[in-house]
Amino acid sequence: MDDIQSAPETEFDGVSPEEAFAILGDETRLNILRVLWQAGALHEYDDIDDSASTMSFSELRRRVNVGDNGRFNYHLSKLVPHFVRKTGEGYRLSGGGKKLARTVVTVAGEHDAEISGEVNSNCPVCGGAIRATYEDQWLRFSCTECAGLFGDAAPRGTLLNAPFPAPGLAGRTPDQALRTELYLCMSDLAHMMQGVCPECASPVRGTLSVCADHEVTDDQPCRSCRTPFAAWGELRCDTCRFAKRLPVELCVTSLAPVIGYLYERGLNVFSPSLEGLFDLVQTQVTIAATESPLEVATTIGSGDDSLTITLDEHLSVVDISQ
């Protein structure tokens, strides 16, 4: 991925993040976005709908229920052009307005949505039962018996922990939610290892860190780095601050050569079982790090049937050998 040295000064269409927050800090303006979204007032050729749909000023004002013409016009004008577009026929959401409306839909739903019960997989570390919990729009799968996979890098017992929109829980059993979360994690990771933020499309900055004194004893994370894994990849978007920090063994599984290699050997990395994924990471992937230059060679498989991917300090691929 590209080596990004510093966060760009982000300007969206002439609107800074501070200005965008300020524009949206008003109930009438948010109601305008809500009404246009609910009416399907969107752009022609957007997505699968090729019909342009707009709403007239008077109809929009009536639905938002603001009596004062001048006051309504003032608020509407603040939203144009960044969140709302004005056309010859009327008003519709811009791409940014639609993205915002989708985000509201994504974070709506039960704030304390419940997912209860154990999943039908066993802990890949100790064989114990796995429990799903949902808190602060994060879906976590944890072992009920052992310390889990992440040492001090996550709450005790954690096997998988990732943001998960509440609407995605509706109608899914814990097992289905687990499969969905694994898919989301792997597809987000695939974006980020290509250097693209899955949330905002900005460049992603990668950083490799390697524990120099790594030593793991039975069921105990390393004393030095407090995790079971010696090499970690941190992937960070400086624009929207979306970030992931994962063992390098897992980072490489989302790269195209590894996806193909594993698929030919029976593992689809986009729909793995938890056991399958962690069996892969723990028993079939070996790493070898060098300090100068800081690189890590990750080998999947063994002997003649192996694939080695070497990443540099920014998690860019510098060598592939099979």
Task: State the residues that interact with Zn ion by CB under 5 A.
Answer: 123, 125-126, 128, 143, 145-146, 197, 199-200, 202, 211, 214, 222, 224-225, 237, 239-240, 242
**Least distance CB 3 / Zn ion (angstroms):** 17
Instruction: Output 31 or 239, the one with its CB closest to Zn ion.
Output: 239
Q: What is the 3-state secondary structure (H, E, C) of 174-207?
A: HHHHHHHHHHHHHHHHHHHHCCECCCCCCEEEEE
**Least distance CB 94 / Zn ion (angstroms):** 19
Burial 139-150 (b: 16+ CB within 10 A, else e): bbbbbeebbbbb
Instruction: Output 143 or 154, the one with its CB closest to Zn ion.
Output: 143
**Least distance CB 226 / Zn ion (angstroms):** 7
Q: What is the 3-state secondary structure (H, E, C) of 251-276?
A: HHHHCHHHHHHHHHCCCCCCCCCHHH
Instruction: Output 92 or 244, the one with its CB closest to Zn ion.
Output: 244
Residues 6+ apart with CB under 8 A from 48: none
Instruction: Output 92 or 314, the one with its CB closest to Zn ion.
Output: 314
**Least distance CB 32 / Zn ion (angstroms):** 26
**Least distance CB 65 / Zn ion (angstroms):** 36
Instruction: Output 20 or 200, the one with its CB closest to Zn ion.
Output: 200
Helix then strand then coil, in percent of the chain rounded to 5, is 35, 25, 40
**Least distance CB 127 / Zn ion (angstroms):** 7
C-alpha to C-alpha distance for 244 and 277, rounded to whole angstroms: 17
As to burial, measured by CB atoms within 10 angstroms (0-12 exposed, 13-18 middle, 19+ buried), residue 313 is middle
Sign of CA dihedral 24, 29, 33, 34: positive
Instruction: Output 97 or 221, the one with its CB closest to Zn ion.
Output: 221
127, 136 contact by CB (below 8 A): no
